[in-house]
A and B are shown apart, each in its own frame.
Chain A
Amino acid sequence: MKNTIKQVFHSGKFLFGFVIFMFILLTCLIYPIFVTADPLQMIGQGNFFKPGTYVSIEESTLEKSYTLQLPKQFSKLEAVLDIDTRAQIQEFLIKNAGVAESEIDVTDAEGLVALWKANYDPNTKYSGLTTAKRKALKRLDNQITAAMKDSGVIVAEKDEEGNLKQSKVIKDTDYVNINDVTTKTFLLGTDNFGRDVLTELVAATKSSLKIGLLAGLIATAIGLMLGLLAGYVGGLVDNIIIFITNLFTVIPAFVILILISYSVGDKARGIAMVGIIIGLTSWPWTTRSVRSQVISLRNRDHVNLSKLSGHSMFRIIFTDILPYIASYVVMAMILQISSGILAEAQLSMIGLGPATTKTATLGLMMQWAMQYSAHLNGSWWAYFPVVILIALISFSLNLMNTGLDQVFNPQLRD
């Protein structure tokens, strides 16, 4: 056993595939330790931010703000009160409101506005003015009122009882120092919902691997069982099993996958369910190959000897047949895992993947990217990493498979 493992790791192909796969697997396990944020949290507002560094809007609102003494042209009130307007106000105050000229200081915007507010009443019909002038004054009053308002943003939070409670008002004049605010770096940008693609990708890979593993385990278990039964028992059992297996190799698994996934309905289709469905549709390959292996083993001398010794069927299968095909079954399972991951991706792209908003899978990421036309608007970061990851996983698994094949099947060694 120890020797076999040593031999396996001497194979360059296996080692290379193993390293890639382990790297992916370890990233899935280690990355969440450092980045504890929810992978599906929507951090960026708006969709498809390019990879890069952004100032976090959310966190800048929590920062302490300053009121800056900005130059006059930045103040709204000053912008409204240009020289002509001031003259207009002065003229009105003197002529219609009877304010003494000495009381009016045109340079002091605040004072001028205070006087205006005290003396102007939009509902009074001032005499000695044309209608146009009256309307102009009314518009001016509206402008001043608008300029004096603190048009800001109100930040509210839900308290324990679920009621919204105002926690902060951010005025137009509030500023924060950009160095105080945390910036966020999206190495792979954000997706259509404004989620960080990198974090989501790691979580998605993890759940896709889970689906693949589940599908591979189920498919291998069914395939192994049917293959052993068909190959060892033979006769009618063999005929029935091989008939069913042939049926399901010819009827595309893809079609059965679609039919079952659709019929199960959106409610029941979670991560585990999709893995189970994929596993239930992909066993025929394993059955065929296990059966042919068992048939070639069935009449070997050591098996015959066991039979003569009166060992039970289970004992013969477990001690005399299984050890010989174990390497083969492991290889078949590696391929099943890789095709399971691919099947999930394809199923999701048709819209029949896991119907969940709680977790991401590689297929779901791909599906959303396509639904929001990432492939047409050039947002490569939303789907290329997914494609590359699927390809890498299946590439590494296949390399491992080829490496194992060469170790256990010396004829293939070059």
Chain B
Amino acid sequence: MKGYKKYYGQKIFWYFLTLVFAVILNFILPRLMPGNPVSAIASKAVSGMTDSTAIQKVLNDYAAKFGINEPMYKQFFMWLGNALRGDFGVSFSQYPRPVSDIIANAVWWTVCLQLPAIIVGWILGNLLGAIAAYIKGAFDKVILPVFLFIGNVPAFGMATVLLYLFAIRLKLAPSSGGYGYDLIPNMSWTFIKSIIAHYQLPFWSIVLITIGGQAIGMRSMSIYELNADYVKYSRFLGIKDRKIVGYVFRNAMLPQVTGLALSLGTMMGGALVAEMIFSYPGLGMTLLSAVNGQDYPLLSACTLIITIMVLIANLAVELLYGVIDPRVKANQLD
């Protein structure tokens, strides 16, 4: 276990460093562009005011709060201090709700939708890919083109297809929202049932997309492994097929785990847009309303929380990788 400490320590340190950079980017990118967002906020706040002393007062107030007149690095630390306390300011589009309140509401919808969906899709995709590689023949011939196509359908496209089929045509599932519009969130049975009903379509559209992408990768990895020398040698030794498949699956899976870590960000981006199709009350809708409402504080908080979520998920995958990859273990024991 002692060896792992170093490995985990390095990983955590590296992710912390990335987080710092992500936070800096989140602060600096919008401020590099013409039209400082803070000045935009201030000018929006005073639009419609006619009393010049009042305008002056509001502008001074904003200048003091965000430190517009201070040098950039001071502004950054003020902003960082506020963000650490969970203070992202007040939303414009949903005035006077604080941004942190909106985000706190939305983030759990997204986490509870995307985390299980991506995990289920990943597992199913890898299983199907491995099976296709092992069985070959007709199964492979049918499944490969199908998944190749599905994997290329954008997540929001799959969302519209499922929505049209199951909500509009067959009326099997509700078309939008996270729960019935006539319900108030509580712990009653009807409410939970409504949540589950609304969960299905967004969940399966993300699962299907993930399956498509993963199955292709797993199939080619498995074919590659099945032709490897160690498999031929094991067969030659007369080791049971079942046992060999176990080894092959494990070896083929390792690159898939790394692949998951690398593509998590892209997957989440796609899934967020799919959420919007269903008007699911998660971060996707929040992002959309922030852009439509020219709500800068909400937008920057959204991007920050998405980055943090992706970083945490990535870190989790990498830590897991350390446990399942024997090479890491061997390295640590040296």
Interface string of B82-108 (1 = CB under 8 A from A): 000000000000000000000000000
Whole-angstrom distance between the alpha carbons of A273 and B29 in the complex?
A: 16
B152 contact from A345, A370, A394, Cβ within 8 A: A394
- Given A262-B30, A262-B291: A252 and B149 interface contact (C-beta under 8 Å): no
A256 at the interface (CB under 8 A from B): yes
A90 at the interface (CB under 8 A from B): no
B13 at the interface (CB under 8 A from A): no
Q: Contacts of A384 on B, CB cut-off 8 Å?
A: 160-161, 164
B220 at the interface (CB under 8 A from A): yes
Interface string of B134-159 (1 = CB under 8 A from A): 00000000000000110111101100
Of the listed stretches B59-67, B186-194, B237-245, B307-315, chain A binds: B307-315
Q: How distant is B214 from chain A, measured CB to nearest CB, in Å?
A: 14
B157 contact from A251, A256, A391, Cβ within 8 A: A391
Most buried by B among A253, A264, A349: A349
Is A265 a contact partner of B34 (Cβ separation < 8 A)? yes
Q: Contacts of B164 on A, CB cut-off 8 Å?
A: 375, 378, 380, 384
Is A254 a contact partner of B29 (Cβ separation < 8 A)? no
B270 contact from A251, A346, A351, Cβ within 8 A: A346
Q: Contacts of B33 on A, CB cut-off 8 Å?
A: 260, 263-265
Q: How distant is B206 from chain A, measured CB to nearest CB, in Å?
A: 14
Residue in A closest to B176 when the chains form the complex, CB atoms: A376
Q: Contacts of B227 on A, CB cut-off 8 Å?
A: 411
- Given A349-B273, A378-B164: A263 and B311 interface contact (C-beta under 8 Å): no
In A324-345, which residues have CB < 8 Å from any B CB? 338-339, 342, 345
Q: How distant is B295 from chain A, measured CB to nearest CB, in Å?
A: 10
Q: Contacts of B15 on A, CB cut-off 8 Å?
A: 250
Residue in B closest to A374 when the chains form the complex, CB atoms: B160
Residue in A closest to B28 when the chains form the complex, CB atoms: A259
- Given A253-B266, A351-B291: A391 and B154 interface contact (C-beta under 8 Å): yes
Q: Contacts of A352 on B, CB cut-off 8 Å?
A: 291
- Given A258-B287, A387-B160, A398-B148: A252 and B30 interface contact (C-beta under 8 Å): no
Please give the number of chain B residues whose Cβ is less than 8 angstroms from any Cβ of chain A in the complex: 57
B25 at the interface (CB under 8 A from A): yes
Whole-angstrom distance between the alpha carbons of A265 and B33 in the complex?
A: 9
A259 contact from B14, B29, B176, Cβ within 8 A: B29
Is B30 a contact partner of A345 (Cβ separation < 8 A)? no
Size category of the A interface is: 35 or more
Is A252 a contact partner of B268 (Cβ separation < 8 A)? yes
Q: Contacts of A342 on B, CB cut-off 8 Å?
A: 154, 270
Whole-angstrom distance between the alpha carbons of A253 and B266 in the complex?
A: 7
Q: Contacts of B266 on A, CB cut-off 8 Å?
A: 252-254, 339
Residue in B closest to A251 when the chains form the complex, CB atoms: B22
Interface string of B283-325 (1 = CB under 8 A from A): 0000110011000100110010011001100100000000000
Q: How distant is A363 from chain B, measured CB to nearest CB, in Å?
A: 10
A233 at the interface (CB under 8 A from B): no
Q: How distant is B136 from chain A, measured CB to nearest CB, in Å?
A: 8
Whole-angstrom distance between the alpha carbons of A319 and B148 in the complex?
A: 36
- Could you show 28 A-B contacts with beta carbons less than 8 Å apart? A250-B15, A251-B307, A251-B310, A252-B265, A252-B310, A253-B266, A254-B268, A255-B265, A258-B303, A260-B33, A263-B29, A346-B270, A349-B273, A350-B273, A350-B287, A366-B156, A375-B277, A376-B168, A387-B156, A387-B161, A390-B153, A391-B149, A391-B157, A394-B152, A395-B148, A395-B149, A395-B152, A398-B148
**Given A395-B149, A412-B223, 8 more pairs with CB closer than 8 A:** A250-B314, A256-B29, A259-B25, A338-B152, A350-B287, A375-B168, A395-B148, A398-B152
